[in-house]
Amino acid sequence: MPAHPRVRAVVVNYNGGARAVQAVESLRALEWPPERLDVVLVDNASTDGVASALRSTRADVRVIEAGANLGFGGGCNLGMGDLAGIDLVALLNPDAVVEPDWLWRLAQAHDADPRLAGACPKILFDVPFVEIELHSPTSTFGRGDHRPLGVLVSGARVAGEDVSHRVQFVHGFWGPEPGAEQTGPRQWSAGNALLRVPALDDGSSAGCSLLLSAIGQREIRLRCGDAQTVLHVDRHPRWHPLAVGGKPVEVINSVGVTVLDDGYAADRGWLQQDHGRWDESVEVDAWSGAAVLLRAEHLRQVGRFDETLFLYYEDVELSLRARRAGWHHVAVPQAVARHVHSATVVAGSRLHQYFSERNRLLVLASYAPARSVMAMAARFLLVTASYARRDGLAPLLRGVRPRWHVVRLRLAALTGFARALPPTLRRRAQGERKDVANRSEGSAE
């Protein structure tokens, strides 16, 4: 590989606005010869004006207007082009930025290993976060829902800005709750819990308040650094200001991806403080499409993104396809990117839940043993039944209106999986036959 490989960097924008412009600007600021770096922005039929703005202000950025929303994979495939003369392909989310040495650190990993398909950086959240401990007595709804519940966190504000969708529920919570009025994820604590809110540009979280409620009247204690707040909450959601202290912490979004036996893709280091624990360069199962450097040769061999997935798990599927063909991936934590998690599609939204669950099952069907796929489909139904009990049956027993939208979303995802399964299995069979043929050719040599 030449001293400075030819790199094509692709950003796919769908109404990313100013953040998409910042992503492009961070690529143009890379420590890399400009003549060896092609920066491409693919616009997936956005209405934010980014495409026209970049076309008029940045002659060194190629803008491609897709004319329709092709999804992440489709947009990336379009932006890559024919890859003639391209050595490496960089992908960057429109809600992420990279540090100036990001590219050459990842390129060094590729230069040292000709069978390296993907090198991924350490991805931090875009800003530091302030940690808040919650301590609350618990009680239960009873009749169908016997979870010990402390306080329900339904929203957060910092300096008057709604940051509900950016709250990090670190531990001590029961997971997202259904709610028609929510502006972000709603979660019950289990007594003692820890959450985080983003810090301001000056590193503070002054003017922080939480939208809280509980089953009945109760006193809760909150600690943030050396500052403590005692609040009285009841069943009516109200905004409660709290005292903020302590130093904000840097938080990890991803240092590569681990693919679990049930098909879930787990970000390594997810929600961990950046204290050096994840700073070792290691081989990983997969990489996150939020920021990665891929070898063009491997794309020519194994193919590009599966556009039928549209959103979520396309990066995992391509990673597994490459591994099946004998390539591998590494995390290079010395290369750093920053990411605004779920800035385009909010985590927990209907779009997120549908595509992440459907596509997880499809990727599982593509690469896991048939027995595992059947077991996971059965487990999916059992988990859906448990949601039906929690969100439907239990409220009915208490004389409360049931909320079925989580169950409906999961059933819709399962239906989507069933519809896409036949072509997925055909592609799997074709890939397995190709692997057998390649191994036979290798043995003949």
**Is the residue at 73 inside a domain?**
yes
Residue 256 falls in which region: left (phi positive, over 0), alpha (psi -120 to 50) or beta: left
Statement to judge: residues 206 and 113 lie in one domain: no
Statement to judge: residues 178 and 93 lie in one domain: no
pLDDT of residue 71 exceeding 80, the answer is yes
Work out the pLDDT band at 434, boundaries 50, 70, 90.
low
Rg (CA), the chain: 23
**Is the residue at 248 inside a domain?**
no
Name which of 129-138, 238-247, 342-351, 388-397 the model is least confident about: 342-351
Q: How far apart are CA 253 and CA 274, in angstroms?
A: 10
39 vs 344 pLDDT, higher one: 39
48: CATH: 3.90.550.60
Domain edge (last residue) among 241, 269, 294: 241
**Is the residue at 344 inside a domain?**
no
334-373, pLDDT tens digit by residue? Answer: 999 999 975 555 555 778 889 999 999 999 999 988 888 8
Statement to judge: residues 135 and 233 lie in one domain: yes
pLDDT of residue 183 exceeding 70, the answer is no
8 A C-beta contact, residue 335 and residue 281: no
| The pair of three-digit structure tokens given for residue 348, joined into one six-digit string | 């927990």
pLDDT of residue 201 exceeding 70, the answer is no
**Is the residue at 225 inside a domain?**
yes
314-339, pLDDT tens digit by residue? Answer: 999 999 999 999 999 999 999 999 99
Statement to judge: residues 59 and 202 lie in one domain: no
**Is the residue at 246 inside a domain?**
no
Statement to judge: residues 139 and 120 lie in one domain: no
Name which of 131-145, 147-161, 355-369, 388-402 the model is least confident about: 388-402
pLDDT of residue 184 exceeding 70, the answer is no
8 A C-beta contact, residue 71 and residue 311: yes
b/e sequence 179-205, b meaning 16+ C-beta within 10 Å? eeebebbbbbbbeebbbbbbbbeeeeb
What local confidence, expressed as pLDDT, does residue 179 receive?
A: 62
Work out the pLDDT band at 7, boundaries 50, 70, 90.
very high
Work out the pLDDT band at 204, boundaries 50, 70, 90.
low
367-384, pLDDT tens digit by residue? Answer: 988 888 889 889 999 999
Going by their DSSP bridges, the two strands 37-43 and 257-259 should be labelled as unpaired
Work out the pLDDT band at 440, boundaries 50, 70, 90.
very low
**pLDDT average, residue stretch 217-221:** 96
**Is the residue at 247 inside a domain?**
no
pLDDT of residue 147 exceeding 50, the answer is yes
What local confidence, expressed as pLDDT, does residue 125 receive?
A: 97
| The pair of three-digit structure tokens given for residue 436, joined into one six-digit string | 């057998």
Statement to judge: residues 159 and 222 lie in one domain: yes
**pLDDT average, residue stretch 103-111:** 98
Statement to judge: residues 108 and 141 lie in one domain: no
Which residues, in sequence order, are bridge partners of residue 338? 97, 124
What local confidence, expressed as pLDDT, does residue 373 receive?
A: 87
Query: SS3 string of 231-242?
Result: EEECCCCEEEEC
**Is the residue at 62 inside a domain?**
yes
**Residue 399 belongs to domain spanning:** 350-444
Statement to judge: residues 25 and 99 lie in one domain: yes
Statement to judge: residues 168 and 230 lie in one domain: yes
Domain edge (last residue) among 306, 339, 372: 339
Domain edge (last residue) among 241, 272, 306: 241
**pLDDT average, residue stretch 298-322:** 96
Statement to judge: residues 155 and 236 lie in one domain: yes
**Mean of per-residue pLDDT scores for the chain:** 91
Statement to judge: residues 428 and 279 lie in one domain: no
**pLDDT average, residue stretch 102-122:** 98
Statement to judge: residues 366 and 327 lie in one domain: no
Number of domains in the chain: 3
What local confidence, expressed as pLDDT, does residue 345 receive?
A: 52
pLDDT of residue 155 exceeding 70, the answer is yes
**pLDDT average, residue stretch 271-279:** 96
Name which of 43-47, 219-223, 252-256, 431-435 the model is least confident about: 431-435
CA torsion angle 111 112 115 116 (round to 10): -70
**Is the residue at 2 inside a domain?**
no
Name which of 154-168, 278-292, 345-359 the model is least confident about: 345-359
Work out the pLDDT band at 432, boundaries 50, 70, 90.
low
